[in-house]
Structure 1
Amino acid sequence: MVEPDQPSTGRMIDFWLGGDHHFPVDVAAAGAFEQAYGPCAQIFRELRAFLGRSVRAIAARGVDGFLVFGAGVPTMGNVHEVAAEATVLYTDVDPVTIRLGQRILAGSDRAGYGYGDATDIGTIDPAQLHRFVPGWGRRPVGVVFLGLAAFLDDETLARTLDELYAAAAPGSCLAVDFDSEELAGHPEALAMMGPAFRMRPPADFPALLGRWTPTEDGVVAVGDWRPEGRPASVPDAFYGAVAVRGDH
């Protein structure tokens, strides 16, 4: 595989999680960010643990098909490893990460990887969607939308989540996260995130879900969402929720 010349957030997270599907350019970028911010591994382990708990909670509702946006590297406790009986379609917009994901999942008959822009679900290959999320639009599915809201302005985020709500069948669930204003205390690290990065006050998060209704857990710091044991002591950089599509 040709080594990329640009880092990817998904592969940087793989590095922080202790995976082995990343490149020197990703390690360098992760190191530069940590110099400006501080250690990141535990924060992203908490975020990945939230992914696991939320996916298990969705699967416990009888959902056995998942559509994942901004999927990054499909290892280290990603969706198909957590929901072992489910089928999963991972999507991303980074071509290097897509090829890497396809290589990792080449032997799987229940998880696939393809191009998909969360802001335009029409970009997903219909054949892949039918194969790996066969109930899409007809029966409840799980939509994983992690690491994306921070890169969408309010109007685009509202439209995107509403389009997903309209396309998914009643009873479908959304796992989503938002970035708090915690990074504002680290201006050098914040600058590295680029001009599209959106921090938001936690009080604004519930309204951003639009018609999706959060479970009784609400929108909370990811470590506090149905914790298994005592949550790790990490900054409240990410808030997360599982929200449900109603019958209307």
Structure 2
Amino acid sequence: MADEEWTRRGIDVNTPSVARLYDYYLGGKDNFAADRTAAEEILAVAPEVRAAARENRAFLGRAVRFLAGQGIRQFLDIGTGLPTQGNVHEVARETASDSRVAYIDNDPIVLTHARALLQEDRHQVIVTPGDLRTPEGILKSPEIQDHLDFSRPMAVLLVAVMHFITEADDPRRIVATLRDALPSGSHLVLSHGTSDSRVEAVDKGTSVYKRANSPLVLRNRQEITELFDGFDLVEPGVVWLPEWRPEEPGLHEDPSRSLILCGVGRKP
């Protein structure tokens, strides 16, 4: 679809979008000139961002496979981003064909593309608008309530999304609200950009994202670990992306170049 058509649909093609920047890092084509320009500014000082996006996607896949293997059959993916290879429902079904997935995003282009991809699969997979900053609205959504059974364990996926939540939005409250709605045995999957690595890249990244539709708020390891309050961390805890249950241990000489810390927690 041409940029002019998106503009007629009310889409701002001139402001970089966090979902479309991520799509560009992954080699996707669902992005506009403003997104590509902003992404290249970041890649100029931190070329590892492209690899970090792939590492983040790989972590998501490993976490979903792990949880499906643990018997989790429901996945609430908030801030899902544009569809690409290895979507949550595809990965979960490799282990359990009866898995149910709800994708949540507030980007209209994400919703358009995801619905087009999943239009024949609404029995087990839904796509619905929602804003992580108001988790109560997500939890009370009739569509979510109809699709997921909140009396049974599920996984909430907050993958590369919490670093777009400012302190003013109270990230700890957001995660606690989601946690309190989950039954025992549920899990939180979280990855979060950190300020613990690459000062130059951090400075440039936060500067560029100020022009995007969401600011980039990087946190340190302690602050990220605190988001798991009320969950028991699954081994190996909060680690760099390549360090979380790698399929090929020892493959990365410097895991910190992934720029993102991650972890999985279980609600007792």
Q: What is the TM-score normalised by the length of structure 2? A: 0.82
1:57 aligns with 2:66: yes
Deviation, 1:180, is: 1.4
**Partner of residue 223, structure 2:** 204
Give 3-state SS (helix, strand or coil) of 2:170's partner: helix
Aligned length: 244
Report if the CA contact (8 A) 2:56-2:241 is conserved: yes
- The worse-fitting range, judged by mean Cα deviation, of 87-96 and 14-23 is 14-23
Distance (Å, rounded) in 2 between the aligned partners of 1:123 and 1:193 = 26
Alignment-mate amino acid for residue 173 of structure 1: H
Report if the CA contact (8 A) 1:180-1:239 is conserved: yes
**Partner of residue 112, structure 2:** 99
**Partner of residue 28, structure 2:** 19
Give 3-state SS (helix, strand or coil) of 1:66's partner: strand
- The worse-fitting range, judged by mean Cα deviation, of 188-197 and 155-164 is 188-197
Distance (Å, rounded) in 2 between the aligned partners of 1:163 and 1:98 = 24
Among 220, 227, 234, which residue is 1:215 paired with?
A: 234
Report if the CA contact (8 A) 2:56-2:160 is conserved: no
Deviation, 1:50, is: 0.3
Distance (Å, rounded) in 1 between the aligned partners of 2:200 and 2:36 = 23
Give 3-state SS (helix, strand or coil) of 2:16's partner: coil
- Deviation per CA, 1:62-114: give whole Å up to 9, x if none: 11111111111122212112111211111111122222221222122322211
Report matched runs for 1:56-75 at 5 Å.
Answer: 56-75=65-84
1:42 aligns with 2:51: yes
Report if the CA contact (8 A) 2:206-2:215 is conserved: no
Distance (Å, rounded) in 1 between the aligned partners of 2:48 and 2:225 = 29
Deviation, 1:183, is: 4.8
**Partner of residue 132, structure 2:** 118
Report if the CA contact (8 A) 1:17-1:76 is conserved: no
Report if the CA contact (8 A) 1:184-1:190 is conserved: no
CA RMSD of aligned residues (A): 2.2
Alignment-mate amino acid for residue 176 of structure 1: L
Report if the CA contact (8 A) 1:183-1:190 is conserved: no
- Deviation per CA, 1:9-61: give whole Å up to 9, x if none: 22222232233433444333322321243243211110100000011111111
**Partner of residue 30, structure 1:** 39
Report if the CA contact (8 A) 2:83-2:110 is conserved: no
